[in-house]
């Protein structure tokens, strides 16, 4: 779990890869958008990344196409059930995705969920950080004895 948190901490955001796959050509890349894939990263990578984005921007937009929609919904539900986020907006649509093996574009379902911080977000994040520090100190004390 620490390596996922560390990877999120070291992450640099490049232009959205899924934006070209139907995100709308005129749509500018948003700094608080996470484009979720169900094959590239584990679920809690996206949960931790969303927490970090909410710390930086006060809200996060989770976006997915096709089979990755279930992952986005799960991430949103985890954040809501832990008292960290509230739903601000949910948008669904279909987009044309070009596939080289087919002559015509395929239609894929798309979902965008905008989540905002709850009033207790900062308090809950601080408590989680304290728990991590206490666990790390305890593990270090065990190593030394």
Q: What is the pLDDT of residues 11-35, one digit of tens each?
A: 444 333 333 334 443 344 578 899 9
Q: Where are the domains of the chain?
A: 2-119
Residues 6+ apart with CB under 8 A from 63: 18, 23, 33, 34, 35, 36, 72, 110, 111, 112, 113
Instruction: Match domain 2-119 to its CATH number in 3.40.190.290, 3.40.50.11540, 3.30.110.20, 1.20.120.1770.
Output: 3.30.110.20
Other beta carbons within 10 Å of 21: 17
Q: What is the pLDDT of residues 51-82, one digit of tens each?
A: 999 999 999 999 999 999 999 999 999 999 99
């Amino acid at each position: 779990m620490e390596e996922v948190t560390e990877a999120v901490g070291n992450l640099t955001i490049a232009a959205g890869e899924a934006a070209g796959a139907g995100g709308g050509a005129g749509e500018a890349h948003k700094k608080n958008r996470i484009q979720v894939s169900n094959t590239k990263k584990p679920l809690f990578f996206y949960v931790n990344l969303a927490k970090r984005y909410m710390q930086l921007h006060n809200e996060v937009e989770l976006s997915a196409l096709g089979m990755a929609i279930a992952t986005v919904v799960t991430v949103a539900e985890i954040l809501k059930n832990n008292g960290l986020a509230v739903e601000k907006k949910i948008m669904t649509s279909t987009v044309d995705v070009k596939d080289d093996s087919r002559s015509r574009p395929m239609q894929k379902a798309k979902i965008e969920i905008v989540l905002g911080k709850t009033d207790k977000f900062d308090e809950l994040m601080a408590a989680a950080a304290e728990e991590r520090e206490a666990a790390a100190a305890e593990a270090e004390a065990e190593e030394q004895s």
